[in-house]
């Protein structure tokens, strides 16, 4: 009788436990549906309510996957892959291809976000391969969207466009209007990058009816800003302002302020423009803040307000230092947390603020090296070389005069000859430095760590091998910085946008802005 009772109790416990596990799995499935609908905060709140210690191994793997997804969607970057690694381990051991593909995918985009691009791409491609044939159209669309973003981000615009079109095709098959909007946004972005402006306008207009289906304000504001960029590239300024303002209504963001401000400056509405640039600074988006400050400094110089321009340049430099300090702080925190995890609980998670896009930090660093316009179109290194040449000629003339009475002036002539040799060495040092940097570029080197003196040295060396190009640049443009001249040299050498971006580390939008600025200071023939 006792055995029967014990068996009944055990059966009840097993059934209850199974029921609880089933209920928990259903809750996790509901959380996944919330994430699909872009209700990220609600999904995270529901995840936080789950008692992790009571989860069985299957539900724990599912929970870890969803937590990784929610953190990514909410821009909360963790410094540990322990959660998603546990999901991957479980799904590999149990041959669950569908959820394994999702685990690979989310680990891949987190890796890419952290800067580990090759591992990130490999994981996302593994997810694409595993998902083929599963019939999960929503998930394959997400894969295509992110592969589109990655290819656009790395300069493979045509491949990015191809993936974006595949994403749109599967999103329509799935009848998922959110993913249709996000796919069209990537198509629009790709067309902008390859400068097919008419096509970008077409897709900008196609996206608009789908915006009402989006629940994520970040996505809406980003798409509206991209639409605004399409119109500004077509010189349709009223439409560009309209959609930039709509973006600001959803979420204040520096890019939208920047777009409207630039248009107002073109129209001569400087007071409004200055206010918008100040609004852009107040968003605290560091990656764009340095760009805005430098542009404001340029404008002040054109007005002849050099003291104010200098103060703005100092603020830009301080912003660059803030970005660098933030990166160093995050790196040190990551190192400390890694050490602690090895000694303690592998489940501990110390969240860090998401890292700034390297391409934009690099852009800010390069731009800040251009600290001052030279009103005479002559940089410091060029003036230095000219001073050397002028002084050398003066010494030679003096030697020529002293040579008439050589015996009396022998010591003075010797001193002057030594000074001439010293001047020659200084000139050769500058040109030698320029040649070294130039040769490194020819072998695929980068300018990411260059400073103003480096650009000037390369320009002066290039003057010795192609003087006509430098003379033409100095004749056709006014008030160019060394960095501006360097860009024009690269353009003159036939470098493509992609090659220039790769060499300098600046983004497409930063390069476009630079070209626009340079064209504005071109001399009228």
Alpha-carbon distance of 388 to 74, in angstroms, equals 59
Alpha-carbon distance of 267 to 454, in angstroms, equals 36
Which pLDDT band, with edges at 50, 70 and 90, does 358 fall under? Answer: very low
What are φ and ψ of residue 77, in 5° steps? -90, 125
pLDDT digits (tens, 9 = 90+) for 229-256: 899 888 898 999 999 999 999 988 888 8
Count other Cβ atoms within 10 Å, centred on residue 486.
Answer: 25
The three-state (H, E, C) secondary structure of 363-376, written as one string: HHHHHHCCCCCCCC
Smallest CA-to-CA distance from 258 within 285, 298, 223, 218 is with 285
Residues across the chain: 525
CA angle 166, 104, 214 (to 5 degrees): 50
Mean pLDDT calculated for residue range 384-388: 59
Looking at the whole model, is its pTM more than 0.75? Answer: no
Smallest CA-to-CA distance from 123 within 77, 162, 92, 153 is with 92
What are φ and ψ of residue 370, in 5° steps? -90, 70
pLDDT digits (tens, 9 = 90+) for 165-224: 999 999 999 999 999 999 999 999 999 888 888 999 999 999 999 999 998 888 899 999
Identify the H or E element spanning 352. strand 351-352
Of 26-30, 103-107, 371-375, 454-458, the poorest mean pLDDT is in: 371-375
What are φ and ψ of residue 423, in 5° steps? -65, -40
Mean pLDDT calculated for residue range 296-318: 71
Better pLDDT: 90 or 20? 90
Residues 6 or more apart in contact with residue 295 via CB below 8 angstroms: 277, 513, 517
Mean pLDDT calculated for residue range 113-123: 83
Handedness of CA 493, 495, 500, 502 (dihedral sign): negative
Q: What is the 8-class DSSP label of residue 354?
A: P
Residue 121 pLDDT > 80, yes or no?
Answer: yes
Using alpha carbons, list the distances in angstroms from residue 486 to 82, 459, 495, 515. 46, 7, 12, 12
Using alpha carbons, list the distances in angstroms from residue 46 to 34, 42, 55, 66, 139. 10, 6, 15, 11, 22
Better pLDDT: 157 or 394? 157
Alpha-carbon distance of 248 to 221, in angstroms, equals 7
Q: What is the 8-class DSSP label of residue 477?
A: B
What are φ and ψ of residue 16, in 5° steps? -65, -45
> Got the DSSP string for 131-166?
HTTS--HHHHHHHHHHHHHHHHHTT-HHHHHHHHHH
Query: Residues of the chain with pLDDT > 70: what percent?
Result: 71
pLDDT digits (tens, 9 = 90+) for 311-355: 777 776 666 555 555 444 444 444 444 444 444 434 433 332 333
CA angle 58, 62, 66 (to 5 degrees): 170
What is the CA 225 to chain-centroid distance, rounded?
Answer: 16
pLDDT digits (tens, 9 = 90+) for 33-81: 888 777 888 888 888 888 888 888 888 888 888 888 888 888 776 767 8
pLDDT digits (tens, 9 = 90+) for 491-502: 988 888 888 888
């Amino acid at each position: 009788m006792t055995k029967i009772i014990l068996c009944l109790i055990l059966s009840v416990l097993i059934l209850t436990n199974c029921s609880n596990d089933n209920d928990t799995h259903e809750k996790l499935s509901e959380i996944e549906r919330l994430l699909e609908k872009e209700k990220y905060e609600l999904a995270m709140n529901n995840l936080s309510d789950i008692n992790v210690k009571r989860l069985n191994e299957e539900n724990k793997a599912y929970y870890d996957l969803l937590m990784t997804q929610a953190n990514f969607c909410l821009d909360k970057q963790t410094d540990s892959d322990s959660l998603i690694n546990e999901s991957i381990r479980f799904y590999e051991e149990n041959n669950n291809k569908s959820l394994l593909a999702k685990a690979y995918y989310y680990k891949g985009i987190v890796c890419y976000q952290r800067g580990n691009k090759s591992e990130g791409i490999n994981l996302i491609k593994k997810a694409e391969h595993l998902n083929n044939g599963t019939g999960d159209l929503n998930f394959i669309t997400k894969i295509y969207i992110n592969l589109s973003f990655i290819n656009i981000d790395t300069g493979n615009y045509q491949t990015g466009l191809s993936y974006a079109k595949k994403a749109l095709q599967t999103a329509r098959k799935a009848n998922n209007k959110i993913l249709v909007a996000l796919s069209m946004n990537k198509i629009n972005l790709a067309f902008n990058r390859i400068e097919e402006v008419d096509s970008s306008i077409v897709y900008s207009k196609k996206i608009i009816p789908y915006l009402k289906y989006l629940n994520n304000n970040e996505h809406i504001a980003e798409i509206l800003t991209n639409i605004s960029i399409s119109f500004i590239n077509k010189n349709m300024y009223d439409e560009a302002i309209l959609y930039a303002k709509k973006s600001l209504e959803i979420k204040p963001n520096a890019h939208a302020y920047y777009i409207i401000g630039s248009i107002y400056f073109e129209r001569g509405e400087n007071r409004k423009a200055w206010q918008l640039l100040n609004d852009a600074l107040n968003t605290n988006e560091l990656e764009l803040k340095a760009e805005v400050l430098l542009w404001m400094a340029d404008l002040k110089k054109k007005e002849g307000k050099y003291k104010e321009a200098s103060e703005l340049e100092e603020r830009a430099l301080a912003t660059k230092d803030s970005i660098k300090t933030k990166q160093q702080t995050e790196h040190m925190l990551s190192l400390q947390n890694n050490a602690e995890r090895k000694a303690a609980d592998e489940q501990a998670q110390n969240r860090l603020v998401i890292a700034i896009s390297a391409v934009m930090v690099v852009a800010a660093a390069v731009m800040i090296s251009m600290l001052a316009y030279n009103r005479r179109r002559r940089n410091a290194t060029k003036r230095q070389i000219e001073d050397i040449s002028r002084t050398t000629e003066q010494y030679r003339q003096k030697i020529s005069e002293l040579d008439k009475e050589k015996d009396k002036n022998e010591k003075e002539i010797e001193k002057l000859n030594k000074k001439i040799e010293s001047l020659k060495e200084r000139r050769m040092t500058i040109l030698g430095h320029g040649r070294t940097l130039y040769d490194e570029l020819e072998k695929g080197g980068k300018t990411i760590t260059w400073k103003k003196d480096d650009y000037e040295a390369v320009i002066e060396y290039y003057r010795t091998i192609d003087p006509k190009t430098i003379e033409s640049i100095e004749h056709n443009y006014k008030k160019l910085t060394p960095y501006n001249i360097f860009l024009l040299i690269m353009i003159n050498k036939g470098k493509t946008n992609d090659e220039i971006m790769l060499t300098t580390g600046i983004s497409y939008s930063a390069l476009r802005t630079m070209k626009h600025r340079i064209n504005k200071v071109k001399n009228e023939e």
